[in-house]
Structure 1
Amino acid sequence: MTKGARTVGRPAAEAVYEHIRDAVVDGGLLPGDKLVQEQLAAELGVSRTPVREALTALSREGLVRAVHGSGYVVSELSDEDITEVSQVRERLETMALELACGRLTGLQRVRVEAAIEEMVEADPADAALQFDLNRRFHQAIIAPCPNQFLLSTIDQLWDHPVNRRITRSYIKGDDDVTTMIKEHRELLQASLDGDPDRLLALATEHIRAGYDHALATESRSK
């Protein structure tokens, strides 16, 4: 894990939380890695108090877990984690897609297409960038949805560290990115055609395939 947390201008616990969270999500910290408060405090240049607060928050989110007498360790992604997030995202996103179907403006279409083309040009091995482009596509294609509360809730789901960790886990290289690009283009075409039945069928298959891939990846790593 990279040393040093940026604490200037904001609470130290928030900076430490974000630093550890990003290390877990990005793979800098792996399942089973020990997180010792004294060591983290020294590495990040803070006292033990913000480290303790950050680890407590991360524990509530399921990214780390307390081990009696041994501090904290990075949690493994459980099948339950992946299944629960998949179910919620599928329901919310297909609802938004149905409401947005056939309603893309010219500018919104350009944004969707730009996200696809940037994914084509980006390094398929750059999981962080591919995650951002994947998120941008999915946010752009539901942009016409008139239910702002629904859109806000989906944004919160994308921001949730467990979902970020899951989504990053199934972007592994050329084949995965090529498949994703193909499916994104099919989703866009169905939306442009104003075909909600096809759009929802494609979206359901697309989302389930990604999380099934995550389940298979986690099973192999255990």
Structure 2
Amino acid sequence: MSEPHTSTELATEKLREAILSGELLPGDRLHQDRLAEMLGISRTPLRAALTTLAQTGLVSYESNRGFYVREFSIADVSGAFQVRAELEAMACRLAAANMTDTARKLLNDLVAEGDRLLEPGALLPENLGAYRRMNVNFHTAVMDLAGNPWIRTFVQSLHNVPAASDRVIMWRDFRVIERSHDDHHRIARALAKGQGERAAAIMREHITFALEHLDLQLKLYPQDFLRMPSPDKPAKGRKASRSKRSSE
């Protein structure tokens, strides 16, 4: 994503990241004074940012409730993951034909950064933000290498379903993180060799497994994750209390 140039763009990006990272949860009311202080921005660009995010579907507005973080059903999340898996697999197929020494180095540097962050044998709390950035940058790099900007545009719109975002790192089980990062290694190697179909298959499985694991973790540790209604309850108007989370 390009760097924001205006105060409104900066406010939009800060607010979007706060939602996608789980700092703000689905259903949370977005009090402008509180948000302005939390994000270090003034109210004028913040109001414009809220309107922008409401137009993209990440934020909702009701006259008697004001702005609040949109709530998504589990079916919404599952559908977003499925489409994201196919689009990022397509990105791999296209990227394989566009690999250069610079592109190979970029992907290798990113997976090496992941290796460094996981070297302690656990994803330490102080390394979670850096690992999340590495993960986002890896997926973004592959999409950029595909040379088709529509892929990144549509995938970014899918990230407006927060639990389907590549910002979400499930770090309770280190073995799952190791498996996920090993996928990054295998995708990078396949792309370096021009093996587009192989990279696509690994990427599809990488994202599909993330969905399966998220579904399991939501059942086992619902307090750890973004609030989502159960499949038999509509998202709109659902009231849920915030519970203490150890991670997102």
State the TM-score bracket (shorter-chain normalisation): 0.7 to 0.9
* AA aligned opposite 1:110: K
- Structure 2 match to 1:30: 25
In structure 2, the CA distance between the partners of 1:60 and 1:78, relative to structure 1 (3 Å rule), is farther
Counterpart for residue 10 of structure 1: 6
* Correspondent of 1:89 among 84, 90, 96: 84
Q: Residue 187 of structure 1 contacts residue 203 of structure 1 at CA under 8 Å; is this kept in 2? A: yes
Among all aligned residue pairs of Structure 1 and Structure 2, give the percentage whose two residues are the same amino acid.
27
Instruction: Measure the CA separation in 1 of the matches of 2:140 and 2:46.
Output: 33
Q: Which amino acid aligns with 2:152?
A: D
Tell me the distance in 2 between the aligned counterparts of 1:105 and 1:14.
Answer: 32
Shift in Å, 1:205: 0.7
What residue number does 1:4 align with?
none
Number of the residue aligned with 1:133: 134
CA distance in 2, matches of 1:135, 1:28: 17
Q: What are structure 2's unaligned runs of at least 5 residues?
A: 229-248
What is the CA-CA distance between 1:108 and the residue it aligns to? 2.4
Q: Runs of 5+ in structure 1 lacking a partner?
A: 1-8
Q: Secondary structure, in 3 states, of the residue corresponding to 1:30?
A: coil
Larger Rg: 1
One-letter code aligned to 1:96: A
Task: Please identify, of 205-214 and 96-105, the stretch whose mean Cα deviation from structure 2 is larger.
Answer: 96-105
Per-residue deviation, residues 1-40 of structure 1 (Å, max 9, x unmatched): xxxxxxxx834x4443333222222332223322234554
Moved over 6 A (4+): none
Cα RMSD, aligned residues only? 3.3
CA contact (8 A) 1:29 1:74 kept: yes
Structure with more relative contact order (C-alpha pairs < 8 Å, separation 6 or more):
2
Output the TM-score relative to the length of structure 1.
Answer: 0.72
Higher-helix-fraction structure: 1
8 Å Cα contact 2:95-2:145 kept in structure 1: yes
Q: Give the SS at the match of 1:112.
A: helix
Describe the shift of the 1:201–1:22 C-alpha distance in structure 2 as closer, same or farther (beyond 3 A): closer
Give the deviation of 1:92 after TM superposition. Answer: 2.5
- 1:210 corresponds in structure 2 to 210
- Tell me, in whole angstroms, the C-alpha distance in 2 between the residues paired with 1:45 and 1:114: 33
**CA distance in structure 2 between the aligned counterparts of 1:15 and 1:110, rounded to whole angstroms:** 30
Determine the C-alpha separation between the residues in 2 that align with 1:45 and 1:187. Answer: 39
The residue that corresponds to 1:181 in the other structure is 181
CA–CA separation in structure 2 for the residues paired with 1:30 and 1:207: 22
Distance (Å, rounded) in 2 between the aligned partners of 1:130 and 1:83: 24
